[in-house]
């Protein structure tokens, strides 16, 4: 039986965008054993995913918890290497972001027979004990790049790469977490009288951060002009936390500007909680990043605010979405009106779809 290991140890969005590739692997090679390595931060993306046999979680030093020593992190890494070496994988896929020398060494140490890698935005390569070959591919979306690897992965089953558009991203929210959030929000007054719109205010990079005043104004217009119920999502914690910077201060500032109407505060301390709240929302507004791709993978329409990233390479995959981008490559310069218009368009389109059904 063919054994396959997929490595995606990068950011949350990268792992979400790897789910079409993992699903396609499972569909094309249903008898293969498919395992995945993720990190402690992004691994919840793959919880309950039906296409993988086993999920290995690798702890990064920067993600270790209080009381967790560096020695303990290194020991768990040694144990993981021992387990992976015992399996002797036929193929190891190093997806974009995890194609660094460190992971090539890992694939070599565990005795992989073939190593397949996205080497850049425009190339991939297949390594084996006898040859090293590189294949050029067009500059394309991250999902397309991953799919392109399948064209060159299996020497005896070579075929044109699968069509990426048939493979959406998917995450699987825990039913109990979804129900818990819905019950909690209903107790605070959430109802179905208008669209439930989530505003996700956290962003990792400074040029992806939309200002407090604009989030507050957008929430106000959505509430009074669309009769919407607005959920405010953010990563809790202090902004200067060395491990996981948070946006408690930003959320409080937005709330203070919205004190004359109801806005539902939804801090998401874990990735599981974020996925659950996104699954409650009917529309999501977020800067380009992990939350944007998670929302799309939950099947939610998304308004994605882009700064200096290229939407052609990073837009939400196979989902109903609108990209709003600033000409200055800084999200802060996007206007409230632009985001509001995109929201109206996507709500109107969703209503037409429901009516057609």
**133: pLDDT strictly greater than 50:** no
- What was the pLDDT predicted at 355? 37
Domains in the chain: boundaries? 3-166, 175-356
The tens digit of pLDDT for each residue in 13-44 reads 999 999 999 998 898 889 999 999 998 889 99
**For 326-350, how does the pLDDT look when each residue is reduced to its tens digit (9 = 90+)?**
889 899 999 999 999 999 999 986 5
**What is the mean predicted confidence (pLDDT) over 267-272?**
94
What is the percentage of the chain residues whose pLDDT exceeds 70?
Answer: 81
Structure-model confidence comparison of residues 183 and 244, the more confident one: 183
Dist. CA 12–CA 10, nearest whole Å: 7
Alpha carbons 119 and 132: distance in angstroms, whole number: 12
pLDDT at position 152 is 63
Strand pairing partners for 116?
93, 126
Q: For residues 253 and 78, what is the distance between their CA atoms, to the nearest angstrom?
A: 45
Tell me the pLDDT tens digit for each residue of 175-232: 999 999 999 999 999 987 889 999 999 998 888 999 999 999 999 999 999 999 999 9
- The predicted pLDDT at position 357 comes to 37
138-179, pLDDT tens digit by residue?
578 888 888 877 766 665 455 555 555 567 899 999 999 999
Helix (H) or strand (E) holding 78: helix 70-87
CATH fold of 175-356 reads Rossmann fold (3.40.50)
Beta strands, E only, 283-333: 283-287, 302-306, 321-325
Q: What is the pLDDT of residue 96?
A: 75
Take residue 283 and report the two structure tokens written for it: 């529309």
Contact 305/210 with Cβ under 8 angstroms? yes
pLDDT score recorded for residue 356: 39
What does the pLDDT read at residue 332? 95
Backbone angles phi, psi at 114, to 5 degrees: -140, 140
Please provide the average confidence, as pLDDT, over all residues in the chain: 85
Q: How far apart are CA 149 and CA 125, in angstroms?
A: 8
pLDDT exceeds 60 at position 267: yes
Per-residue pLDDT tens for 285-312? Answer: 999 999 999 999 999 999 999 999 999 9
Backbone angles phi, psi at 163, to 5 degrees: -80, 115
Calpha distance 90→113 (Å, rounded): 5
Per-residue pLDDT tens for 55-107?
Answer: 999 876 555 566 667 777 677 788 888 899 999 898 888 887 666 777 888 88
Measured in Å, how far apart are the chain's first and last C-alpha atoms?
A: 43
CA dist., res. 227 & res. 179, Å (int): 24
pLDDT at 243 over 90: no
**CATH fold of 3-166:** Rossmann fold (3.40.50)
Give the pLDDT of residue 68. Answer: 66
Structure tokens of 219?
């929430």
Query: Cα–Cα distance between 9 and 57 in angstroms, integer?
Result: 9
- Strands 114-120 and 123-127 come out as antiparallel
Q: Please, which residues bridge with residue 39 across strands?
A: 58
Report how many helices (DSSP H) and strands (DSSP E) the chain contains, helices first: 12, 13
Whose structure tokens read 């935005």? 121
* Distance between CA atoms of residues 52 and 36, nearest Å: 7
Cβ neighbors of 175 (< 8 A, separation 6 or more) are: none
- Chain-centre distance of CA 212, in angstroms? 24
- Rounded to whole angstroms, what are the CA distances from 27 to 37, 51, 167, 268? 20, 8, 10, 33
| Same fold across 3-166 and 175-356 | yes
């Amino acid at each position: 039986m063919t054994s396959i290991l997929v490595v995606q140890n990068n950011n949350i969005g990268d792992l979400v965008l790897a789910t079409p590739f993992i699903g396609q692997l499972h569909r094309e090679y249903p008898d293969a054993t498919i395992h995945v390595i993720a990190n402690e931060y992004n691994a919840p993306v793959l919880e309950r995913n039906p296409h993988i046999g086993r999920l290995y979680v690798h702890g990064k030093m920067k993600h270790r918890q209080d009381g967790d020593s560096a020695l303990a992190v290194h020991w768990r890494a040694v144990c993981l290497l021992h387990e992976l070496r015992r399996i002797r994988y036929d193929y190891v896929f190093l997806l974009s972001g995890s194609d660094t020398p460190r992971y090539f060494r890992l694939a070599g140490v565990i005795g992989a027979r073939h190593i397949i890698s996205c080497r850049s935005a425009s190339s991939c390569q297949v390594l084996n004990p006898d040859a090293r070959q590189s294949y050029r591919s067009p500059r394309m979306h991250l999902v397309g790049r991953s799919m392109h690897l399948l064209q060159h992965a299996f020497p005896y089953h070579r075929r044109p790469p699968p069509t990426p558009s048939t493979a959406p991203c998917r995450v699987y929210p825990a039913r109990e977490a979804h129900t818990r959030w819905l019950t909690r929000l209903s107790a605070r007054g959430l109802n179905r009288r208008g669209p439930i719109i989530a505003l996700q205010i956290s962003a990792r990079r400074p040029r992806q951060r939309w200002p407090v005043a604009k989030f507050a104004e957008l929430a106000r217009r959505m509430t009074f002009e669309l009769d919407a119920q607005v959920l405010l999502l953010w990563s809790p914690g202090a902004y200067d936390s060395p491990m996981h910077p948070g946006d408690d201060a930003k959320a409080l500032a937005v709330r203070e500007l919205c004190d004359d109407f109801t806005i539902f505060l939804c801090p998401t301390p874990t990735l599981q909680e974020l996925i659950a709240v996104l699954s409650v929302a009917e529309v999501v507004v977020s800067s380009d990043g992990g939350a944007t791709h998670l929302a799309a993978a939950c099947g939610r329409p998304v308004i994605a605010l882009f700064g200096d990233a290229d939407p052609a390479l990073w837009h939400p995959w196979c989902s109903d979405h609108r990209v709003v981008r600033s000409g200055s490559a800084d999200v802060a310069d996007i206007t409230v009106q632009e985001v509001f218009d995109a929201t109206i368009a996507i709500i109107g389109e969703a209503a037409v779809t429901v009516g057609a059904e």
